[in-house]
């Protein structure tokens, strides 16, 4: 399947009560993929099922544009209002590092996290997936959620990581959807332009096909004409030869 | 400019607190155009300026799918959070009709309203636009707004229509943006497929150019070969003629 993997995504930050108090950021797309995620808990309680959710990891800057911020968004293609996200700045990462016994620094962390998510993708469809992403929803509406990656070996479940996530409220989902709309409008415009370019090239190529076909026809006719002209001269010469042969015969007779 | 005018748009209705309690509707696009709109009032007060806003008129069905609903959305390309909307069902239209002294029925109303909006579009850029769309914002955040069309003649300002609008809150903007995201994803996918098709045709056309060019070359060579072969036979015959002429000369000599 033809997929368009943009290298950056829009993120809308700031006070979402008006557009003036918000700001748009272009964050680098480090990861943007559907991952099978086991969704657990939530107000419904015990329900637990594996869903294909989109995990997006974005590296951007904070409001002051001085510190790097890592954002992780978990969304669903089948539910536009489904939005769980977390963000951690380079500074905040220090406490996360201690809390989660992480041995790598802020800059190495995304790659390691992506490796774990790729393991989950690779385990897709397995009856007992070795690596499984788990999104644990809060017990009450609006409670924090948590995204983790669990490895299951013959001995035990091994939690590789567990990050605190926030479920989206109307304001944050509004910000997220507005940013996605900007992304997808950009993608649409790229495809529209590409289509325009391809259509132009197609028009030129079709004209070239016609020109080449006309040239081939002209050459075919030229070949036929040349053959006909040659044949005519041959016929003429053959007649001339015949005449001189007859004359010679006449001469020998006399 | 190449514009893509889709014939239908998504509308998300129902309780936006979750996707399960919402529903998606496919409404018919009656009008979807940028219109110069004079934006007045609002919490800022006296500011008044003409902005290019998108007016979208959609004809759909209400939740029970039994009654037609006309929806008008006023949005801004430069402010994704800007959203003013109104909806009126066929039933509700009766009171609007009385209130606004409208002489046409529900089914004729959109065309008449669109005519007025087209007049506003035609008056774009005029120093004293004859027809001007006016969006009056509520004095307080969240207060009702009103969209009207005013004609200015030499005698007076004439209000053709004035409809009560609701400014969007986080929940309604979320619904609107989710619906637009569906629309634009659909447009992106159409352009992507069109681009794919055009690319395939382009590949075929390029192959056809090559084939036709090869055919033209082959025919050119065939013409040259035919001419060369004819020339060879002519040369041969000419030599033969010359020989027999010489022989004849020899014969007459003896």
Q: How confident is the model at residue A3 (pLDDT cuts 50, 70, 90)?
A: very low
DSSP letters, chain B, are ------SEEEEEEE-TTSSTTEEEEEEEEEEEEEEEEEEEESTT-S-EEEEEEEEEEEEEE-TTSSSEEEEEEEEETTEEEEEEEEEEEHHHHHHHHHHTT--S-TTTHHHHHHHHHHHHHHTTT-SS-SEEEEEEEPSSTT--EEEEEEEE-SS-EEEEEEEEEEE--HHHHHHHHHHHHHHHHHHHHHHHHHHHHHHHHHHHHHHHHHHHHHHHHHHHHHHHHHHHHHHHHHHHHHHHHHHHHHHHHHHHH-
Q: Which residue has the higher pLDDT, A47 or A196?
A: A196
Q: Are B136 and B41 in contact (CB under 8 A)?
A: yes
Q: B218: which chain A residues are within 8 Å (Cβ-Cβ)?
A: 216
Report the C-alpha gap between B235 and B243 in whole angstroms. Answer: 12
Q: How confident is the model at residue B5 (pLDDT cuts 50, 70, 90)?
A: low
Report the C-alpha gap between B241 and B236 in whole angstroms. Answer: 9
Q: For residue range A179-228, what is the model confidence (pLDDT) as tens digits?
A: 999 999 999 999 999 999 999 999 999 998 888 888 888 888 887 887 78
Q: Which among B22, B170, B192 has CB closest to A171?
A: B170
Strand partners, A83: A75
Decide if pLDDT at B235 tops 70.
yes
Q: For residue range B195-219, what is the model confidence (pLDDT) as tens digits?
A: 999 999 999 999 988 888 888 888 8
Q: Treating both helix axes as pointing N-terminal to C-terminal, what angle do B170-253 and A170-253 enclose, rounded to 10 degrees?
A: 10
Q: Answer whether A229 touches B (CB < 8 Å).
A: yes
Q: Are B99 and B3 in contact (CB under 8 A)?
A: no
- The pairing of strands B8-14 and A79-89 is unpaired
Q: Answer whether B215 touches A (CB < 8 Å).
A: yes
Q: How confident is the model at residue A247 (pLDDT cuts 50, 70, 90)?
A: confident
Residue of B nearest to A208 (CA): B209
Q: A251: which chain B residues are within 8 Å (Cβ-Cβ)?
A: 248, 251-252
Look at the block and give the residue holding tokens 């996200």: A85
Residue B165's nearest CA partner among B78, B40, B51, B63 is B40
Give me the number of domains chain B comprises: 1
Residue contact A234–B230, C-beta within 8 A: yes
Q: A18: which chain B residues are within 8 Å (Cβ-Cβ)?
A: 81
Decide if pLDDT at B117 tops 50.
yes
Q: Are B223 and A226 in contact (CB under 8 A)?
A: yes
Q: Does B117 map to a domain?
A: yes
Q: Are B132 and B116 in contact (CB under 8 A)?
A: no
ipTM exceeds 0.85: no
Which of A189, A191, A200, A250 has the most B C-beta neighbours within 10 Å, making it the best mutation to test the interface with B?
Answer: A191
pLDDT at residue A47, as a whole number = 76
Q: Does B201 map to a domain?
A: no
Decide if pLDDT at A35 tops 80.
yes
Average pLDDT over residues A240-246: 81
Which of A79, A193, A212 has the most B C-beta neighbours within 10 Å, making it the best mutation to test the interface with B?
Answer: A212
pLDDT at residue B16, as a whole number = 87
CA A185, distance to chain mean position in Å, is: 14
Q: Are A27 and A6 in contact (CB under 8 A)?
A: no
A75-79, B75-79, B107-111, B237-241: the lowest-pLDDT one: B237-241
Q: How confident is the model at residue B248 (pLDDT cuts 50, 70, 90)?
A: confident
Q: For residue range A167-183, what is the model confidence (pLDDT) as tens digits?
A: 999 999 999 999 999 99
Q: For residue range A71-126, what is the model confidence (pLDDT) as tens digits?
A: 999 999 999 999 999 999 999 999 999 988 889 999 999 999 999 999 999 999 89
Please give the angle made by the CA atoms of B204, B208 and B211, to the nearest 5 degrees.
Answer: 140
Report the C-alpha gap between B59 and B74 in whole angstroms. Answer: 15
Q: How confident is the model at residue A46 (pLDDT cuts 50, 70, 90)?
A: low
CA distances from B61 to B26, B66, B111, B216 (A): 9, 7, 18, 61
**Cβ within 8 Å of A, B 108-127:** none
Decide if pLDDT at B140 tops 90.
no
CA distances from A13 to A80, A88, A176, B77, B105 (A): 19, 14, 9, 18, 45
Q: Answer whether A171 touches B (CB < 8 Å).
A: yes
Decide if pLDDT at B4 tops 60.
no
Q: Which domain holds residue A21?
A: 8-168
Q: How far is B190 from chain A (nearest CA, A)?
A: 9
Q: Are B181 and A181 in contact (CB under 8 A)?
A: yes
Where residue A101 sits, what CATH number does that domain have? 2.170.210.20
Q: Does A155 map to a domain?
A: yes
Q: Which among A192, A226, A237 has CB closest to B227?
A: A226
Residue contact B181–A182, C-beta within 8 A: no
Q: Are A83 and A97 in contact (CB under 8 A)?
A: no
Q: Does B206 map to a domain?
A: no
Q: Which among A174, A185, A208 has CB closest to B174?
A: A174
The token pair that represents B134 in the structure block = 């006016």
CA A171, distance to chain mean position in Å, is: 28
Q: How far is B215 from chain A (nearest CA, A)?
A: 6
pLDDT at residue B106, as a whole number = 95
Average pLDDT over residues B67-77: 95
Q: How confident is the model at residue A68 (pLDDT cuts 50, 70, 90)?
A: very high
Q: B185: which chain A residues are within 8 Å (Cβ-Cβ)?
A: 184
Decide if pLDDT at B3 tops 60.
no
pLDDT at residue B2, as a whole number = 41
Longest dimension (CA), chain A: 132
Torsion of CA A98, A103, A107, A111, to 10 degrees: -120
Mean pLDDT over each residue of chain B, to the nearest integer: 89
Residue B148's nearest CA partner among B58, B84, B60, B94 is B84
Decide if pLDDT at A5 tops 70.
no
Q: Does A126 map to a domain?
A: yes
Run of H or E residues at A89: strand A79-89
Q: How confident is the model at residue B64 (pLDDT cuts 50, 70, 90)?
A: confident
Q: Answer whether B226 touches A (CB < 8 Å).
A: yes
Chains A–B, number of C-beta pairs less than 8 Å apart: 173
Q: A183: which chain B residues are within 8 Å (Cβ-Cβ)?
A: none
Residue contact B180–A181, C-beta within 8 A: yes
Q: Does B223 map to a domain?
A: no
Q: Does B207 map to a domain?
A: no
Phi-psi region of A65 (alpha: psi -120 to 50; beta: other; left: phi over 0): left
Residue of A nearest to B234 (CA): A234
Q: Does A31 map to a domain?
A: yes
């Amino acid at each position: 399947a033809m997929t368009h993997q943009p290298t950056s995504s829009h993120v809308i930050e700031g006070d979402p009560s008006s557009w003036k108090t918000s700001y748009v950021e272009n964050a680098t797309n480090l990861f943007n993929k559907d991952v099978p995620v086991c969704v657990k808990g939530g107000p419904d309680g015990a329900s637990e099922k594996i869903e294909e959710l989109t995990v997006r990891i974005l590296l951007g800057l904070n409001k002051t544009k001085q510190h790097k911020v890592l954002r992780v968004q978990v969304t669903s293609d089948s539910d536009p209002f489904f939005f769980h996200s977390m963000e951690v700045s380079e500074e905040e990462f220090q406490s996360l590092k201690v809390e989660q016994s992480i041995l790598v620094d802020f800059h190495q962390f995304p790659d390691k996290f992506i490796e774990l998510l790729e393991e989950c993708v690779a385990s897709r469809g397995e009856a007992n997936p070795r690596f499984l992403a788990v999104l644990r929803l809060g017990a009450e509406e609006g409670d924090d959620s948590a995204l983790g990656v669990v490895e299951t070996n013959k001995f035990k479940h091994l939690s590789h990581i567990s990050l605190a996530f926030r479920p989206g409220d109307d304001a944050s989902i509004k910000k997220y959807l507005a940013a996605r709309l900007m992304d997808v409008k950009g993608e649409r415009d790229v495809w529209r332009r590409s289509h325009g370019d391809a259509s132009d090239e197609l028009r030129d190529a079709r004209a070239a096909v016609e020109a080449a076909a006309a040239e081939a026809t002209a050459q075919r006719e030229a070949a036929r004409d040349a053959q006909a002209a040659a044949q005519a001269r041959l016929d003429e010469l053959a007649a001339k030869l015949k005449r001189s042969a007859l004359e010679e015969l006449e001469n020998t007779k006399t």
